[in-house]
Amino acid sequence: MAGVSVKLKLFATLRKNYGVKELDVECDGTIFNLIENASKILGRSFFDDIYDKNQGKVRDNIIFMINGRNIKDLGEKIKLTDNDVVAIFPPIAGGRIFRGVKRDR
């Protein structure tokens, strides 16, 4: 599959580190090629931050969503299509811990 156009959205520290909120990326429909082509725009460190070459997949600590669905829920054979929206969130850390505070649900 050639010529698939995907909207790539970056969040939190990824957005800050790479100075872009979103960009359109052409790829062959594979996640690997999407990340590879995005790294040609954003720099090689983007590829290394997102993709684990040793395991051949998106890093486990990255939240990678296609059209609002986490790729961890989509299975192995993922093919991107024209106008898909891919959102990438960096590892989540930090936050506030509330001890002794009862919260209404």
Q: Give me the CATH number covering residue 79.
A: 3.10.20.30
pLDDT of amino acid 100: 45
pLDDT of amino acid 34: 97
pLDDT of amino acid 48: 96
Classify residue 54: in a domain, yes or no: yes
How many CB atoms are closer than 10 A to CB 80? 22
Classify residue 57: in a domain, yes or no: yes
The domain total for the chain is: 1
Classify residue 96: in a domain, yes or no: no
pLDDT, tens digit only, all 105 positions of the chain: 458 999 999 999 999 999 999 999 999 999 999 999 999 999 999 999 999 999 999 999 999 999 999 998 887 789 999 999 999 999 875 544 444 444 444
pLDDT of amino acid 105: 41
Distance CA 39, CA 48 (A): 9
Classify residue 97: in a domain, yes or no: no
* Global pTM value: 0.83
Classify residue 94: in a domain, yes or no: no
Range of the domain at 33: 4-89
With a CB cutoff of 8 Å and minimum separation 6, the contacts of 48 are none
Classify residue 98: in a domain, yes or no: no
pLDDT of amino acid 93: 59
